[in-house]
Structure 1
């Protein structure tokens, strides 16, 4: 009799323990799912959280609105001598502003557009170690301009293929690999920030 009672009590205790363990597992799964959902919602609605995931900071600095005469003076009326490249956006010129700052100026034909201004202002607020800083913009005479900080070492393509004045500095494979990895980091940037046509036209060599 005592043996049967002990067996019954043991079975009951085991059942209670099993129910308790299952309950704890269900509670843990629900709590974890709720936490993930809350994080996902925050990530999709808060740009500052998105930015931290990809190393982006948003600056409060406003985009500078340049005048065409400033850019013409800086590039000596867009002289061919100052033409340093051409990309998806258009021709790229090296320029020297009156305050002594070297800049790279992208130029293309385009009618005045508020959307262009809004996108330029937004892109100028983005700061990332793998992005060249956009300083400002200009649109006059059915032309659009983007003004970037000037990078003196030339474009990536020049160093990759060893052409032009820096052909002697053609980079080695390990440095090419490093550049490729850095360029790959532009993919999450483009996914998170790249709905803008101006941003997409800025990704390249």
Structure 2
């Protein structure tokens, strides 16, 4: 039994390690431009990790970069199906639907993302404070796409406190690191943030407030 367990652990390690290495190689290929090599590596990863929502997210991003929006939408939709509560995947799908000139479906996707983000049963914010900015972006796109003036005004109004809370969290992270710029950058990086995230949130907040 112990030997079987050890064999299983080694097999899982091999499987995960090879898939991770292939994903890194595919991502590098996407950045450099050799599309054929990247697609081949993604196909190999899919064979090793067929039920990975993260893989679908990355493949969708690659398909978008290559200009194939229909394929990107399909990959992103598969990722959402694999991980329905992943708001990052849902945000990607909504944005891709909008880019693919499918505004009705995009509007529905943004509304669904907003519904999930505000569901108290999920308690998503306890897991990731960046849900605030993901939801705020969805609300602003919803406001831009809907033909209902009241819904648009409500969406923009609801985006403001979300972005203010997000920026307040960034302020707290930076304040904890003191005045040293490098320490502040390290503190942000530890939470998966960069200074550009603040600038982006500030732009979104200005957009929401300008439309009041």
Normalised TM-score (structure 1): 0.30
The structure in which a higher percent of residues are strand is: 1
Q: Which has the higher contact order (CA 8 A, sep 6+)?
A: 1
The structure in which a higher percent of residues are helix is: 2
Normalised TM-score (structure 2): 0.29
Whichever of the two has the greater Rg, that structure is 1
